[in-house]
């Protein structure tokens, strides 16, 4: 039987759109970048220090099967180093996206974040660690959202998706600074959605529960990991594949009426 032509393939919902995914060299960000690419988006893979990891993500995206509706200038994915807590680097990140793809940016997914692997109580959290957590998680989300609000394509299809955390609801000891930094992100997203009235750009937060990534495992004993897994109604940790379908939907036209929302994706963990 002859192979079907590309014209008979299911249309890709994000065909031709440009997406920046911060912190996408590893973990949830990596999975999101690949998923959005599979939906047709052209991707900016952002990293801070792990260049080899970021290059592998871009290579995987650029090796995806060709589709006529997403062909255009340059590769399907590029790699851009930028620290999201630095205003000049965030601006350069958006500049690089526009230049590489000769297109306005349609989607921002801010996945970059850090978690103190020591899990200190607030009484034991150093000022330096507190400042670092807020610099990346909160200031980074602010700077990326600020740039996106001014530069995303208006008139429909513009999407700002910020990754928060179900820790803002679980309120576990040892997560004080981290949960507070993510709660601030959630508040910003709700207000930003209202401030973008008339632009057609939506702003939402995705709040994963415990996800089996390097960041989650760091500093935890196997006993603690097992204990956290048993708190889920599914009896397991979440995986990146549990999160990406929601992000893909929020990036699509079908999510237009979802705006200013904090959406937990945690299997009933909290």
Q: Which residues are catalytic?
A: 178
Q: In the chain, which ranges are E strands?
A: 18-22, 42-47, 77-81, 107-110, 159-163, 202-208, 262-265
Residue holding tokens 């939506």?
202
**Helix boundaries (H) for 152-232:** 167-170, 176-195, 214-217, 222-230
Number of residues that this document lists for the chain: 270
Q: Tokens standing for 124?
A: 């034991």
Contact 211, 31 (CB under 8 A): no
Q: Tokens standing for 36?
A: 């959005």
**Residue partners of 238: CB distance under 8 A and separation at least 6:** 208, 209, 210, 211, 212, 232, 265, 266, 267, 269
Contact 34, 19 (CB under 8 A): no
């Amino acid at each position: 039987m002859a192979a079907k032509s590309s014209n008979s393939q299911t249309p890709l919902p994000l065909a031709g759109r440009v997406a920046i995914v911060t912190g996408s060299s590893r973990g949830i960000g990596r999975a999101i970048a690949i998923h959005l690419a599979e939906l047709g988006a052209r991707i900016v893979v952002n990293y801070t220090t792990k260049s080899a990891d970021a290059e592998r993500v871009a290579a995987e995206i650029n090796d995806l099967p060709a589709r006529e509706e997403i062909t255009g200038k340059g590769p399907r994915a590029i790699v851009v180093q930028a620290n999201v807590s630095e205003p000049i680097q965030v601006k350069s990140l958006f500049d690089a996206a526009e230049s590489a793809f000769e297109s306005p940016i349609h989607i921002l997914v801010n996945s970059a974040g850090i978690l103190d692997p020591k899990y200190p109580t607030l009484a034991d959290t150093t000022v330096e660690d507190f400042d670092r957590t807020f610099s990346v998680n909160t200031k980074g989300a602010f700077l990326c959202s600020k740039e996106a609000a001014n530069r995303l394509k208006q008139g429909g299809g513009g999407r700002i998706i910020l990754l928060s955390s179900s820790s803002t609801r679980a309120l576990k000891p040892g997560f004080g600074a981290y949960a507070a930094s993510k709660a601030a992100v959630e508040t910003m997203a709700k207000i930003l959605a209202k401030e973008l009235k008339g632009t057609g750009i939506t702003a939402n937060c995705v709040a994963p529960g415990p996800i089996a990534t390097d960041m989650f495992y760091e500093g935890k004993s196997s006993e603690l990991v097992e204990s956290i897994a048993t708190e889920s109604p599914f009896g397991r940790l979440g995986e990146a594949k549990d999160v990406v379908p929601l992000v893909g939907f929020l990036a699509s036209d079908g999510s237009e009426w979802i705006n200013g929302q904090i959406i937990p994706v945690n299997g009933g963990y909290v």
